[in-house]
Amino acid sequence: MNKINPKFLADHCNVDKDSIDFMEHKETVRKGDNEHYKNMVSYIRAHDMADAQHYAWVKKKMDIANFIDFQVAQIYCDNTDAGGNIRYWRPKRPGGKWRWILYDTDWGFGLHNKKAYSRNSLAFFTDPNGPEWPNPEWSTLLLRSLLNNKEFQEQFINRMCDRLNTDFATEHVKMYIKHFTNVLTPEMDRHLTRWKLGADEWSQSIDNMYVFAEKRPEYLYYFMHEQFKTGELADLQLESSVGGSIRLNGSNIEVDAGKAFRGKYFENVPVQLEAVPEFGYKFVGWEGTTVKERHVAVNLKSGKVLQLKAIFETYNHPLLEQVIINEVCAYNKHTGDWLEIHNKSGEAIDLSGWNLKDDKHIFTFEKGIVPADGYLVVCEDMEAFTKAYPEVKNVVDGLNFGLDKSMEQLSLFTYDGAAVDSISYAVEPLASESVVVVKILKPETNHIIAQEEARILGNDTLQIIHQYKLKSIVVRSIAETNRAYQVVEGMALGSYQFLKYFSKPTAKENTLRTIKVESSTLDAPTVQELSTLVEAVFLSRTLVNEPFSFLDTPQLSKEIEKMANDAGFDFEFLNKEKIQALKMGGILAVNQASNIPPHFNILEWKPANATNEKPIVLVGKGVVYDTGGLSLKPSEGMEYMKCDMGGAATVAGTLYVAAKNKLPLHIIGLIPATDNKIGTNAIAPGDVIRMYSGTTVEVLNTDAEGRLILADALHYAKKYNPMLVIDFATLTGAAVRALGTYGSLYFSTAAEKIKSNIEKSGMETYERLAELPLWREYDDDLKSNVADLKNLGGVAAGITCGDINGVGPEVIIKTLLSKPQPGGKNCVYVVYGNPKMIAYHKNFITQENININTITSPEQAQPNAINVINCWDDAITFTIGEATQIAGKCATAALDAATKDIKAGKLTAIVTAPINKKSMQMSGFTFPGHTEYFAHHFGVKDNLMMLVSEDLKVGLVTNHLALKDVSAAITKEKILHKIQMMNKTLKMDFNIDRPLIAVLGLNPHAGDQGAIGQEETNIIIPALKAAKNEGILAYGPFPADGFFGSSQFRKFDGIIAMYHDQGLGPFKAISFGAGVNYTAGMPIVRTSPDHGTAYDIAGKGEADERSLMRAIFAAIDIANNRFEYNDMREEPIKRTKLKILDDETGKDEYIEEMIPE
């Protein structure tokens, strides 16, 4: 590392090697000149750094964070040759700051003094009277001067603590020493001979370093305590929820979600914390303190542990995708770095307080207005930029990142920390038009994320190759930690295409033919292994992409046989007759309606050098096409059901790569293959089948077919006495709902070590896994009344008590005593309230004892009891039929508890009993109603309040709003958004393939073409046109009176009303008692009955529970529809329909609209 020169700085620090000031020792120039540095030193000598203005001047001249890191590292390792090892540089441009390089520490770490751990290097590095060597006065000037400033001193102390808690922690340093020793040991004989040293000296030096690592932190804490009078040490524990991280002391040390941090800091030095939300989240507060700001300075107390947790919740900022980083110019010698921000919204935006960040830097906008649909340039050098682009007027300067010409990620954050845009850029094509050179930077990074970023870089590079139709690429790595493997992997995997069924496939083919790797760590066998892996992935992808018209069960077996012949593993399949002989009832039942026989495929790789005595068995679901059977899937998205054999493709590909790469493992693959069709012979819900194991199963849903065929295969696997069985299947939309497309769920009965290894493997390849529990209570969910098991488990719905003085508790008790089980599903219900509340209201209904099960979590719920989570103290007063503050507080406590549980994934849906708005307001409830409450807690900017029944579904543009304010509240954008939400919820939540939506007018007679109001012409009709342009079948505006009076509403799947009573008045007149209140547009399912607290009949036992019953049934049905929707669709398919079929007459009737042609 001694060859620190301008070229090194250019390669590692993203600067022009000819435009730097580079010095060493006492102002000795190696490049450029020393005038800027001498001026800074003179200023520091002449001014008191305790003065904030003087310190602010210095901060503009030197990179304070870098300087502190440099000094902290020198002091920690006790580098007593610091005066001789000073090298420092700055970009020679306006605003270029001085930075220091740590490059030679051979006098540190106890190598020359076995008790160096006890040396007070802090005093040494701040001594104004040191000798000319090793610490002359000039070499300690900057640090000792700046430590007079309180801000700098606290930053220095905290940074030292940061390092002692992380990189300089004993276990970390010992790990580095061990790695260092292992790398150098093979070279030491030659080295010792050359320098005439003994092996004992080498061994002693290593021992000294281990002792140094063990004892150094304790001494440094003591030295800081004595010199700065910091007070005693105290413990700090940090944790972050999903959706963000915590940054310590403005450094690059972050506590990521799901990871705990514990460290020691001083009680008199406030620790600076910043909550950093990820995209799609916002910071909502800290657990452990009442402070709500993202940036917080915490004071610790000796002897106490301060525990803080940053809480984030899902959130899409209104300006997301509206304010974007539009263009980046990096490493430009003529203009300096600059980037352009585009405001796509219709209003000017003030960026004051916003932040622009890369991996190491933060730029805070002091000012900057981006005009509506306009641009703002942020530049490094204002003079150079305006000279090059005099026509650009809206410019701010101060960008001092040193943008990377090869790879960079930039993110834009609002003043409150919400992310609105993030971009990355990578490579540029060379003039040869045939090669792209990629530099893999960040040599200090050795992390799973960095590996995935390298894969993404490879894929991004591939897009440029396609754009320029290049045929070859060279990948070079200039970093010590080589990322060439991941770049090539990302590039190769991204090049997959499925062009088989295009009439002219060559016109669409990728041009890339050759990837050349220049890397010292990638040898030929490694590259060949990667090539085989990519080949196996491509074969598996092709199996999944093939249509059912080609890939039925016999053809799947043929394709696997081809792979076996190529790779060298054994293959056979059992035909239908053999499957029947084995009595594999699960496979045979699913195949019952098909005219194509099932196959049971057996793959085996058993090399002579296999290291496992017992085989590993892989089982893959091979449903080559899944209609859902008689439990038919929705038609939209059915084309993706050819992909239901993804598990089979995974197993086949795994055997292929294991055999071709000669993996020394005995592996067996089992693939039960069939289709799941509709027909006269199809298995029906309610049928009972006998599996291969002899177990009988009641089939409640024929679309739960995968578990039936896999159960037969898993039992068959037992014959091999395997060491491990791994089952791959596309089973449930719950996985997508839980993790999105960012990982997979798994459950396991294997040993913890095996699960840990599998999860580590998933992280290494970034195919991440999250474990689902297998609690014993689930066994009860699978019990059947007519067979050993059933093929559907249970769901849990939460019911909030509502107003305890109204009819809510009464109708809850009546409903649960009837044990509702919608759709034959095994449902358990959890009441959020209080057991004494249930006992009190029970007496209005019956004098018989009822089974009340008091629990603390939904997992403890029992199917034959009224399960109650206690949400408040028992000592409350019931005032039946009256609005009270106590009733409001109890209702709020129930809502809070249920919300917490559904956020934690413990509930399938929430059903809310009615509340009284006066009671809620008296208790401090700040929301108009349930809808607004849930919208707030789930970060939903907008939602759609609906009342639904079997035949009528009405949504509102405005909810609980005074009639006089309605006209001003409706806009084209708002109506369009409500139409979009109605369209989506009818598809996703109500399983309506092509919904027809009616939109009501605001004024009498829908404005009568402007005679009675302009809202229809100016607002509603433009919104309808915009909806139609998106392929939504929305019609109107209809006059409300004639629309409902003529029964025209029966022709539509959904109705949009402009205000509360316009929609809910007719709904309750038509569907009273049969309606359900539903909030669409939420990430959760929430319903409620369509009646209120009914104080007039509360306590009389007269309340009708049927609306609550319907609300429960609706919640479960909607949740299941949503699971089904998420299971099948990645992108909804737009269809259009111009007319409606009249069911009674069979005639097509065009709907008359007020939208002029």
Mapping DSSP onto H, E and C, the string for 883-913 reads CCHHHHHHHHHHHHHHHHHHHCCCCCEEEEC
* Residue 986 DSSP SS3: helix
Lowest mean pLDDT: which of 308-312, 435-439, 782-786, 875-879?
A: 435-439
Answer yes or no: is pLDDT of 684 > 60: yes
pLDDT at 436 over 60: no
Q: What is the mean pLDDT of the chain?
A: 85
508, 497 in Cβ contact below 8 A? yes
* pLDDT at 241 exceeding the cut of 80: yes
Whether residue 136 has a cis bond before it, omega within 30° of 0 = no
Between helix 64-77 and helix 150-165 the angle, nearest 10°, is: 50
Backbone angles phi, psi at 19, to 5 degrees: -130, 55
Domain 323-425 class in CATH: mainly beta
Higher-pLDDT residue of 82 and 672 is 672
* pLDDT 10s digits, 4-20: 777 777 766 767 788 89
Q: How confident is the model at residue 1034 (pLDDT cuts 50, 70, 90)?
A: very high
**Dist CA 422 CA 358 (whole Å):** 10
With H, G, I as helix, E, B as strand and everything else as coil, classify residue 797. Answer: strand
Higher pLDDT, 881 or 295: 881
What pLDDT was estimated at residue 560? Answer: 98
Per residue in 528-546, pLDDT (tens digit) is 888 899 999 999 999 999 9
Contact 611, 663 (CB under 8 A): no
What is the distance between the alpha carbons of residues 823 and 908, in angstroms, rounded to a whole number? Answer: 15
pLDDT, greater one: 413 or 475: 413
The region of weakest confidence among 465-469, 512-516, 1133-1137 is 1133-1137
Among candidate residues 382, 384, 423, 426, the one with its CA nearest the CA of residue 404: 426
Q: What's the CATH code, domain 960-1071+1119-1157?
A: 3.40.718.10
Place of tokens 């699978």: 782
The answer on pLDDT for 1135 being more than 70 is no
- Euclidean distance between CA atoms 424 and 836, whole angstroms: 58
Residues 318-336 have pLDDT tens digits of 887 788 888 777 766 677 7
Report how far residue 189's alpha carbon sits from residue 669's, in angstroms, rounded to the nearest whole number: 50
Contacts of 655 (CB under 8 A, 6+ apart): 563, 564, 567, 569, 603, 604, 605, 618, 667, 669
In whole angstroms, what is the distance from residue 196 CA to residue 194 CA? 6
Tell me which H or E stretch contains 697: strand 696-698
Domain ranges of the chain: 6-228, 233-314, 323-425, 437-522, 547-731, 793-940+1082-1104, 960-1071+1119-1157
Q: Are 499 and 32 in contact (CB under 8 A)?
A: no
pLDDT score for 1142: 32
Measured between alpha carbons, how far is 1097 from 1099 in angstroms, rounded to an integer? 6
* CATH superfamily name and code, 793-940+1082-1104: Isopropylmalate Dehydrogenase (3.40.718.10)
Confidence of residue 256 (pLDDT cuts 50, 70, 90): confident
- Does the structure show a pLDDT above 60 at 1143? no
- Mean pLDDT within 282-306: 86
In CATH, the number for domain 233-314 is 2.60.40
Give the number of other CB atoms < 10 A from CB of residue 171: 8
According to DSSP, residue 1017 is labeled I
Note the pLDDT of residue 805: 96
Q: How confident is residue 598, by pLDDT bands cut at 50, 70 and 90?
A: very high
pTM of the model as a whole = 0.47
Q: Is the pLDDT of residue 60 over 80?
A: yes
Residue 98 pLDDT greater than 70, yes or no = yes
Segment 1008-1031, tens digit of pLDDT: 887 888 899 999 999 999 999 998
* Maximum mean pLDDT: which of 625-639, 773-787, 922-936: 922-936
Q: Is the pLDDT reported for residue 1148 higher than 80?
A: no
- Per-residue pLDDT at 1156 exceeds 70: no
pLDDT exceeds 70 at position 345: yes
Question: Does the structure show a pLDDT above 80 at 462?
Answer: yes
Q: Examine the pLDDT at 801 and tell me if it is beyond 90.
A: yes
Amino acid at 201: E
pLDDT at 370: 93
Distance CA 511, CA 506 (A): 10
State the Cα–Cα distance between residues 23 and 31, nearest whole angstrom: 7
DSSP secondary structure, 533-580, as one string: HHHHHHHHHHHHHS-TTT--HHHHHHHHHHHHHHHT-EEEEE-HHHHH
Query: Is the confidence at residue 763, as pLDDT, over 50?
Result: yes
CATH of domain 547-731: 3.40.630.10
Percentage above 90 pLDDT, the chain: 44
Express each pLDDT in 687-724 by its tens digit: 999 999 999 999 888 888 999 999 999 999 999 999 99
Give the rounded percent of residues in the chain with a pLDDT score beyond 70. 88
CATH code of the domain occupying 437-522: 3.40.220.10
Q: Is the peptide bond before 1156 cis (omega within 30 degrees of 0)?
A: no
Give the pLDDT confidence score for residue 359 in this predicted structure: 64
Same fold flag, 323-425 and 793-940+1082-1104: no
pLDDT-derived band at 1127, boundaries 50, 70, 90: low
Q: Is the pLDDT of residue 201 over 60?
A: yes
When pLDDT is averaged across residues 664-693 and rounded to a whole number, the result is 94
User: For residues 473 and 987, which has the higher predicted lDDT (pLDDT)?
Assistant: 987
Is 826 or 158 the better-scoring residue by pLDDT?
A: 158
Per residue in 214-235, pLDDT (tens digit) is 999 999 999 999 999 999 999 9
Tens of pLDDT along 856-912?
A: 888 778 777 899 999 997 778 899 999 999 999 999 999 999 999 998 888 889 999
- Say yes or no to pLDDT of 286 above 70: yes
Read off the pLDDT of each residue in 499-515 and give the average, rounded to a whole number: 78
Which candidate, 362, 458, 485, 478, places its Cα nearest to that of 412?
362
